[in-house]
Amino acid sequence: MASINKTCLTCKGNYEVFDADQSFYQRVSAPVPKYCPPCRMQRRIAHRNERTLYRRVCDLCKKEGVSIYPAGTPWPVYCAPCWWSDGWSAKSFAMDYDPSRPFLDQWQELQAKVPRIALLCLTSVNSEYTNNAGDNKNCYLIFAAEQNEDSMYSRLIMHCKSCVDCAWVYDSELCYECVDCRGCFKCMYSERCQKSTDLLFCFDVRDSQNCILSVNLRHKQYCIENVQYTKEEFEKKKKEILASRESIEAAKKRYAQLRGQALVKYAFQTKCVDATGDYMFNCHEGRLLFDTTSAKACKYLADAEEPIDCYDMNNAYYKPELCVDIMGVLQINNCKYSSYIFYSNELEYCDSCHNSNSCFGCIGMTKVNNCILNKQYSKEEYQKLRAQIIESMKKDGTYGDFLPPNLSPFGYNETLAKDFFALTKEEALARGFKWQDNISTGTVGKENGKDIFACADCSRNFRITPAELQFYQQMQVPLPTKDFECRHRDRMAKRTPRRLWHRSCQCKIGHDHADKPCANEFETAYAPDRKEVIYCEPCYQAEVV
């Protein structure tokens, strides 16, 4: 089977559908996608609002709370206790399929009726200001986060305790302003560090402790700018840096210089075989994987854990298998073109459905089988009608792609898409996305903060909560001068884009290639015009070990 060259319907760019991709789509009975991988991802995450929060009243119990939906939405919005209760049934909104109308028009009609949950926060304690999060305790404004305690202002942190202003941090404690770290304790202003303790302004440091302004270190202690010092000299330098806001800012500038001179491996990956992408851990036989852990035979994924045989997924966890074009899911099998579906099998074009099987075009359903547009059918009736709908969608060209942008419940500027695919209002509308003109401003949070600050970048107001103040005092760092969104933007700027370029190793002499330049080539998220010196795996390991 030969590969196919296609033109994306959105960006008009060319993309290749490899023979292995075609085999996969045939295996899961899915047509070849009509959009390139980046545009497919953009469509999915334009349905994901993580951090834009609003105050509104629950439409069932009438209690005020916080929601990802502003007041005035076409659909009702219920607080979590009401949404999960037996006080209502999504089946009461069931619709008969009308073969004379486009199926997605009918889906949109159903969408406007079915209640939606205000915040997606599962089995958490004292963590009401979290979203797309679960099993957290005493956490505040953390998103896409699980099993954390006493943590604040972070995205994609897992199994952490007392971590603040972090992103993509795992199994760590007492960390501040850290990005892409694992197994760290009491580290600050550091990136890409693993299994280390008491780091300050460090990059790519592993199995080390008590280091300052250091890069590419392994198994070191009491180092400053990669030079060995005594414990007393280390403590003195640390105290000098943390003495004032001005000294911390000076250290940030020096760190930026050192980071720019550091050796960088072509991809931030560990224990990966035959996989391309960046920020990967234990991935095998994959292509274009980003922020993905323990994936096997997967392609075009981001923010995923333990997927098997899946294509085109974002924010997928708990071992999804044989799925295509999916966003925001937990432990699903053989599902397509759906969002926010948990513990389910064989769902297509479904949204916010849980513990269900064999459903098509359903919204808000729980513990059901063989349903279409929220209406119950027998198994035989379901299979017959499903086949009829799919054939109709194929004729009008809508089957085989994720839910289109106009069916997103959010404005583009409210969603995760703005972080990875920045668009102006005019550009977003031209591509069919929605836009929220009255977007939430300032921190939606507890009212017990006494002082109100203005963000140094955007001028929005933000508060310092008592728990937050206690953390800053414990870590001996000054109060932030920017609000959470601007701090998040700064952290995102430190990471590579979700895109790959073909490049060659820049090692010029030594190692296995002796006095000749290294001949190794690779796919990397570092664009050719970047300043970093990019090494292949063997050359990188030879230098840093």
Q: What is the pLDDT of residue 446?
A: 43
Residues 293-309 have a mean pLDDT of: 97
The CA distance from 152 to 97, in Å, is: 45
For residue 106, the tally of other CB atoms under 10 A from its CB is: 18
Single-letter code of the amino acid located at 188: M
Q: What is the pLDDT of residue 445?
A: 45
Inform me whether the pLDDT recorded for 409 exceeds 50.
yes
Residues 341-358 have a mean pLDDT of: 98
The CA distance from 35 to 529, in Å, is: 27
379 sits in which H/E element: helix 379-395
Give the number of residues written for the chain: 545
Spell out the residues 6+ positions from residue 483 whose beta carbon is closer than 8 angstroms to its own.
442, 443, 455, 457, 458, 460, 461, 462
317 sits in which H/E element: strand 311-317
Q: What is the pLDDT of residue 220?
A: 97
Beta strands 167-170; 133-134: pairing state: unpaired
DSSP structural state of residue 5: E
Taking each helix axis from N to C terminus, what angle separates 103-111 and 379-395, rounded to the nearest 10 degrees?
Answer: 110
Phi, psi of 83, rounded to the nearest 5 degrees: -65, -40
The band of 510, judged by pLDDT with boundaries at 50, 70 and 90, is: confident
The band of 450, judged by pLDDT with boundaries at 50, 70 and 90, is: low
Strands (E), 318-399: 324-330, 336-342, 345-348, 351-354, 357-360, 369-372, 375-376
Residues 448-474 have a mean pLDDT of: 86
CA-wise closest residue to 428 among 454, 450, 410 = 410
Contact 315, 326 (CB under 8 A): no
For 187-245, give the DSSP string.
Answer: -BS-BS-BS-EEEES-BS-BS-EEEES-BS-BS-EEEETTEE--HHHHHHHHHHHTT-H
The CA distance from 190 to 218, in Å, is: 15
186-214 pLDDT, tens digit per residue, is: 999 999 999 999 999 999 999 999 999 99
The CA distance from 131 to 58, in Å, is: 16
58-70 pLDDT, tens digit per residue, is: 999 999 999 999 9
Listed by start position, the domains of the chain span 4-32, 501-544
Q: What is the pLDDT of residue 51?
A: 94
Phi, psi of 242, rounded to the nearest 5 degrees: -85, 10
Spell out the residues 6+ positions from residue 499 whose beta carbon is closer than 8 angstroms to its own.
38, 525
Signed CA dihedral, 523, 525, 529, 532: sign only: negative
Spell out the residues 6+ positions from residue 368 whose beta carbon is closer than 8 angstroms to its own.
91, 353, 356, 359, 362, 376
59-114 pLDDT, tens digit per residue, is: 999 999 999 999 999 999 999 999 999 999 999 999 999 999 999 999 999 999 99
Q: What is the pLDDT of residue 441?
A: 58
pTM comes to 0.93
Residues above pLDDT 70, as percent of the chain:
97
247-296 pLDDT, tens digit per residue, is: 999 999 999 999 998 999 999 998 999 999 999 999 999 999 999 999 99
Q: What is the pLDDT of residue 1?
A: 61
